[in-house]
Structure 1
Amino acid sequence: MKQWRVVHIEEPELEFAHGQTAAHPKDGLFLYGPPSSNYNPRRMEVGIIATEEGARLYSAWVRSVKGAIAPPETGKEANKYMWPGFQAAFGAEWSDVPFGYCKVEADEISKAIRTGTRHEGIYSTVDIYEQALRKHLREEEASPKMWFAIIPEEVYTYGRPLSVVPGAERIESPRGIKKAAAIRLIKQPTMFDAINEEARPFEFEANFHNQLKARLLDTGKVIQVVRETTLSTERDSKLRRRSLQDPASVAWNLGATAFYKSSGTPWRLAHVREGVCYVGLVFKKLEAARGRDNACCGAQMFLNTGEGVVFRGAVGPWYSDRDGSFKLDRVQAARLMTMIVEGYKDIHGKPPKELFIHGKIEFGDEEWAGFTSTVPPETNLVGVQIRRQNEVKLFRFGQNAVLRGTAIVVDERLAYLWTAGYIPRLETYPGREVPNPLTVRVRRGDATIEIVLQDLMALTKLNYNSAGFSDGLPVTLRFADLVGEILTAGPDAGSARLPFRHYI
C-alpha cells in the first residue's frame, strides 16, 4: 500500500511596482505600490448614485482616506494594519467631489422598499437607481469609470430574499398579484401585455445587490454597492458606523476594489508559468424555469496578471434533480470552451499552453468531450475537482492550527490542501474553528499534483474585493455562486463576455 505524503506548499509571492514582491497585499502596496500597467488610473473617476445624505457621507469618507488611518488598538492581529492614504498606496488621486452624481430621493426609496412582496419592493427600489443612472448616461457628458451605488441601511435590511417588512410599515402592492400566479404567467404568458407586466418583478431575483448589477450590465458600467453605514466615519455624528470593520480595514478593502474596478491592477501573481489559464465553471438553477431549461451556465477565466473575464453560456437542462449536479451537453460545452479560448487569444494573440478547468463536481463524459473538441492541440487541458470537506483533520502539537499550505498527497491525482491555517506572516490563524482542507482531484487530463496545489494556493490571493492575506477558496470558485446569481438575476441578464469586475 502506497503511503500518503505530507508536503508544504510555499506561500505564493505577489508582484508590485518595480518588480518588487511580497506575500501580503498590504505589505506590497504600503512599500511599493501597484505593479505598472497602462490601465492603472492616475485619478479616480468615480460617480455616485446616492441620496443627499449618501453623497455627504461619500465625500467625508474620501476625505478621510486621503490621509493615514491608524490601525485598531484591539481585535485580531491580522487586522492591525495602518492605512497610509489612498495616493500613497495606489499612486492615484481621489477627489472628494464625485466625478458624476445621480441624486435619488430618500423618501422615494423608503416607500419603494416597503411596498408589496420582496420581489415587488426590491424591483421598484432597483428601478430608482437604474433610471437615475440611465438618465445620467443619456444627458451628461461626464462618464465615470465606475459607480458607487450608495444605499441607506433600510435597503440592505429589506433588500434581500428572506427579509420581512414589519406589518406596521408595509405598503400594499398596487399590482396585487401573488408569487405563484406570477410564476405561472412567466412560464405561460397571456396574449395581454398589461397582464404579463404584472409579473415582471418576479422575473428578477429578490436581491437588491444582484438585481441592480444584472439590470445594468448592458450599460457597460462597473457598479460597487456600498452601504451608507460603511462610509460613515468616526467624526460623523449623524450616523453611527457599524462595528464590523475598523476604519483602516474599510479603507484597505474598499480602496483595493475601487482601484481594481477603475481598471487598475492592485497586484499580480509573481513567478508564474507562462501561458497558463484558469477557468472556473459557473452554474445556477433557475427559479422560474421554462420547460426543461432549468439552469444557466457560465465560466470565469483568470490569468496570472489577475485579469478576469466572465463568459455567459446557454440556458438549458443542465441541472439534475436526481443527484443535484450540473452538467453541460457536448454542444454547449464546446461552445463555452470556444469562447474561452478565443477570449484568451484576444488578450495574448495565441492559445494557452495550459488550461485548467476548476469545478465543484465531476466532469461528465459528454461535457468533457465537448471541452476537448475545441481546444487547440498545443493546449494541455486539465479538469480539476475542488470541494470543501470535513472528513480529514490534521492537528499540530501546541496551540496553533495546521500551517496554511500543508497538503496530504494521496497519489498522483488526489490530495488534501489546507488553504486556511496558521500564517507565520500574521502570527495567527485568522479563523475560529479547526481548519478543513480542500479535496483536490485531477479528474481529467494530466498534470503534476504538486503544481496543481501550487496554482490553487496562488489563486487564493487574487480576491481584489479585499486586501486580505488570502482566501480559503481559489478565485476561480470563490465567486462562482455570486457570478451565477447575477447571470440569472433577471431574464437574459448579461452578455456573452464581460470583465470580471462587473460581477463582484
Structure 2
Amino acid sequence: MSFTPRLIEIAEPELQFAFGQAVAHPKDGLSLYGPLRGSLTGSRLRIGIVATERGRQIYGKFAERLSKPIAPAKPDDPNHTLFPGFQAIFGVEWPSQPVAYLEIDPADLDAAISMPDRHQAIHKAVSLYSDAIAQHLRDDAEAHVDLWMAIVPEDVHKYCRPQSKSKKGGPEQVAPAALMDKKQATRLLTNEPGLFEEDAKSAEIYLYELDFHNQLKARLLEHRAAVQVLRETTMAPEEFLNKIGKPLRALQDPATLAWNLATTCYFKAGGKPWQLAYVRPGVCYVGVVFKQDASNPEPGMVCCGAQMFLESGDGVVFKGTPGQFKSEKEDDFHLPRDKAKALMSLVVEAYRRGHGGEAPKELFIHGKTRFSYEEWEGFRETVPPETNVVCVRIREDSGVKLYRHGPSAIARGMAWIKSETRGYLWTKGYVSRLQTYAGREVPSPLTIEIVRGNADIEQVMGDVLGLTKLNYNACIYGDGVPVTLRFADTVGEILTAAPRTEDLPPLPFRYYI
C-alpha cells in the first residue's frame, strides 16, 4: 500500500493554569489566572542563600526588584510582556530576607579558586557551598528551606569551569602533599588499592567534574537540596560595569530575565507553574540519557539514566547501572536487554506508585539514537501486554529547510509527514501570538521517527510539540526540543559529576536543572 507524503499544520498545544483555564502562552496564563494550585499557594517561599556578604546585599536588592512590576523593554511589542511582580503572578510571597543565610568568606573562596591544580581548586570551591548547606541540614532540620540560592562572584564562573585556568595574582598556594595527576589517580583507584586512606581521598577528587555548577548540584542530590546557582552579575548587572560604563555581560532585558528566573525558582521550590491542558490519560513519556562516566574509575564506563514525564508535567530522574554500552558508532550507545529492563522497571514502578498500581496505557520512549530490538524487548517486559510501548528517535536536522512565500519564516507546528513512521516537525518558526520568529537563521526541523512499536505519526508529533512547552527553566512560548530530551545532556552531566558509593533513588526533575 503506497503512502502519500503530506504537509500539515499541528495546532499549538494549550497549557492549563489555575481554575482550569487554558491558553497557549505561559505568560498570558500566569498573568491572567496564576499557576496551578498547590502546596505553595498563598504561602511565603522559604529561601536560603549561600553567599559572601556582598552576595547577601545583592540578594536583598534582587528580592526587592522581583517583588515589583518591571516594564517590558518594548511596550507595544507582543514578544515583550510586563512582569507584574512575583507575588502578583504566583500568589506566593518572595521574602526580602532569607530564612537561612550561610556566609562564605571571600578570602577562603579566593584562596580555593586560586589553587594551581584545577581539580583541587574547583572541588574546594564547591565544598565551601555544599558543606555549608549539608551542615545546616544536619543542625537545623526543622528550619525547612524550599530553595537554596548559591550566589557566586564572577570569578567562580570564570575559573571554575571546564578548560578554565588558575587565577593569576590570587593568594599564594602550596600544593597539598597528596597532590597527583589524573592518570596517577585513576591508576591508584583501579589497579592499586593504595596504602593509605588519604591517598584514596586525594585521588577521588580527580573523579569530580571540572564544573562548579554541575558538581555542586551532584553533591547536593543526596541531601535532597534544590539549588539555584546565580552569578552576582545576573542579579545586579548595574553594579558590574566595564570601562565605558556598560554592564560586563549582555543579559536579557530586565522583564524577560525576571519572568525566566521567577518561573524556574517557583518550580524548583516545589510549585507547578502549568501543565498541558488536553492530554490522553495513562500516557507516560520517557527520555533516555547516556553519558560517558568520568567519575567512574573504570575506563569506558557509561552512565544511563531516564527522565519520566507524566501528562501532568511532573518529572522524575532515574539513574541506571553504569556499563560499557558503546556500539560501533561514535557516541552511539545501546543497552543490553537486562539493563534496559532494569532501567525501565524503575520508571514503571514509580508510575504505578502514583497511579494506584496501574501501569501506563501508553509508554513513549524518546532518544537520540535508534533503539535496538534488545532494548525494545527489555522495555516491553516491564509492562503488561496491553500497554503500547513505542520507541521514538528525535534528532535536530539542519539539512532540511522549508520556505514560504513572503518575509516570514515557516510557522511553528508545521509538519512534513514522509511516511507512516517518519517525518519532520518544525518546533521553531513564526509564532502569530508573538508576531515574530525568535531566530536569525532559517528554522530547522526535528526528525521524528518511530523505530519500534506502533503509533500514529501525527499523534506522536503532536505529543512532541506539547512537550516543548514544559520547560520550566524559563517562561517561553515554546522550546525547540521536547522536555524529554531538552535537558538530557545536563542531567547526564550531573549524574556523572561526582563519584558515588550508593545508588541514587529516583528524584524529582527540579533537583537537576
TM norm structure 2 = 0.94
Supply the distance in 2 between the matched residues of 1:70 and 1:494 (Cα, whole angstroms). 47
Partner AA of 1:351 in structure 2: A
Asked whether the equivalents of residues 207 and 296 of structure 2 are also in contact (C-alpha less than 8 Å), the reply is no
Instruction: State the partner residue of 2:183.
Output: 180
Q: Indicate which of 337, 342, 361 corresponds to 1:353.
A: 361
Instruction: State the partner residue of 2:372.
Output: 364
Instruction: State the partner residue of 2:31.
Output: 30
Q: Indicate which of 401, 405, 418 corresponds to 1:393.
A: 401
Asked whether the equivalents of residues 269 and 304 of structure 1 are also in contact (C-alpha less than 8 Å), the reply is yes
Change (3 A) 1:496 1:225: same
Supply the distance in 2 between the matched residues of 1:462 and 1:295 (Cα, whole angstroms). 28
* 1:68-122 per-position Cα deviation (integer Å, ceiling 9, x unaligned): 0011149x95652110011110010111100111111111111101212222111
Instruction: State the partner residue of 1:212.
Output: 216
156-165 or 201-210, which deviates more: 156-165
> Offset at 1:399?
1.4
- Is 1:462 the counterpart of 2:470? The answer is yes
Change (3 A) 1:292 1:243: closer
Asked whether the equivalents of residues 325 and 333 of structure 2 are also in contact (C-alpha less than 8 Å), the reply is yes
- Is 1:256 the counterpart of 2:260? The answer is no
Secondary structure of the 2:69 match is coil
Asked whether the equivalents of residues 78 and 430 of structure 1 are also in contact (C-alpha less than 8 Å), the reply is no
Supply the distance in 2 between the matched residues of 1:404 and 1:194 (Cα, whole angstroms). 57
Partner AA of 1:358 in structure 2: H
Asked whether the equivalents of residues 230 and 241 of structure 1 are also in contact (C-alpha less than 8 Å), the reply is no
* 1:169-198 per-position Cα deviation (integer Å, ceiling 9, x unaligned): 484532432222223223334232222222
Secondary structure of the 2:320 match is strand
Supply the distance in 2 between the matched residues of 1:458 and 1:344 (Cα, whole angstroms). 20
Partner AA of 2:405 in structure 1: F
Supply the distance in 2 between the matched residues of 1:132 and 1:289 (Cα, whole angstroms). 26
Instruction: State the partner residue of 2:66.
Output: 65
- Is 1:498 the counterpart of 2:502? The answer is no
Supply the distance in 1 between the matched residues of 2:42 and 2:184 (Cα, whole angstroms). 49
169-178 or 116-125, which deviates more: 169-178
Partner AA of 2:511 in structure 1: H
Asked whether the equivalents of residues 210 and 485 of structure 1 are also in contact (C-alpha less than 8 Å), the reply is yes
Instruction: State the partner residue of 1:105.
Output: 105
> Offset at 1:490?
0.9
Q: How many residues align?
A: 503
* 1:223-261 per-position Cα deviation (integer Å, ceiling 9, x unaligned): 111111111165899995733112111211111011111
Supply the distance in 1 between the matched residues of 2:239 and 2:187 (Cα, whole angstroms). 52
Secondary structure of the 1:415 match is strand
Instruction: State the partner residue of 2:50.
Output: 49
Instruction: State the partner residue of 2:414.
Output: 406
> Offset at 1:168?
4.4
> Offset at 1:287?
2.5
> Offset at 1:25?
0.6
Supply the distance in 1 between the matched residues of 2:331 and 2:233 (Cα, whole angstroms). 39
Residues 26-425 of structure 1 aligned to structure 2 (within 5 Å) = 26-38=27-39, 40=41, 42-73=43-74, 77=77, 79-140=79-140, 141-169=142-170, 171=173, 173-174=175-176, 175-188=178-191, 189-232=193-236, 234=238, 240=247, 242-287=249-294, 289-291=296-298, 294-320=301-327, 322-349=329-356, 350-425=358-433
Asked whether the equivalents of residues 114 and 168 of structure 2 are also in contact (C-alpha less than 8 Å), the reply is no
Partner AA of 1:43 in structure 2: R
Partner AA of 1:257 in structure 2: T
Asked whether the equivalents of residues 50 and 103 of structure 1 are also in contact (C-alpha less than 8 Å), the reply is yes
Secondary structure of the 2:302 match is strand
Q: Could you tell me the percent identity over the aligned residues?
A: 48
Change (3 A) 1:346 1:39: farther
Change (3 A) 1:314 1:217: same
Supply the distance in 2 between the matched residues of 1:295 and 1:234 (Cα, whole angstroms). 43
- Unmatched runs of 5 consecutive residues or more in structure 1: none
> Offset at 1:290?
4.3
313-322 or 472-481, which deviates more: 313-322
> Offset at 1:319?
2.1
Change (3 A) 1:288 1:319: farther
340-349 or 78-87, which deviates more: 78-87
Instruction: State the partner residue of 1:450.
Output: 458
> Offset at 1:446?
0.7
Asked whether the equivalents of residues 13 and 271 of structure 1 are also in contact (C-alpha less than 8 Å), the reply is yes
TM norm structure 1 = 0.95
Supply the distance in 2 between the matched residues of 1:39 and 1:304 (Cα, whole angstroms). 21
Secondary structure of the 1:216 match is helix
Supply the distance in 2 between the matched residues of 1:494 and 1:466 (Cα, whole angstroms). 30
Supply the distance in 2 between the matched residues of 1:431 and 1:176 (Cα, whole angstroms). 47
* 1:361-410 per-position Cα deviation (integer Å, ceiling 9, x unaligned): 01112221111111122311110000111221101111111110111000
Supply the distance in 2 between the matched residues of 1:166 and 1:191 (Cα, whole angstroms). 33
Secondary structure of the 1:315 match is coil
Coordinate RMSD, CA, aligned: 2.1
* 1:469-498 per-position Cα deviation (integer Å, ceiling 9, x unaligned): 111100000001100101101112861300
Supply the distance in 2 between the matched residues of 1:117 and 1:24 (Cα, whole angstroms). 47
Secondary structure of the 1:182 match is helix
> Offset at 1:323?
3.8
Supply the distance in 2 between the matched residues of 1:79 and 1:224 (Cα, whole angstroms). 26
Supply the distance in 2 between the matched residues of 1:23 and 1:78 (Cα, whole angstroms). 14
Asked whether the equivalents of residues 15 and 35 of structure 1 are also in contact (C-alpha less than 8 Å), the reply is yes
Supply the distance in 2 between the matched residues of 1:20 and 1:399 (Cα, whole angstroms). 34
Supply the distance in 2 between the matched residues of 1:102 and 1:168 (Cα, whole angstroms). 27
* 1:119-159 per-position Cα deviation (integer Å, ceiling 9, x unaligned): 21110100100111122112223121110111111101111
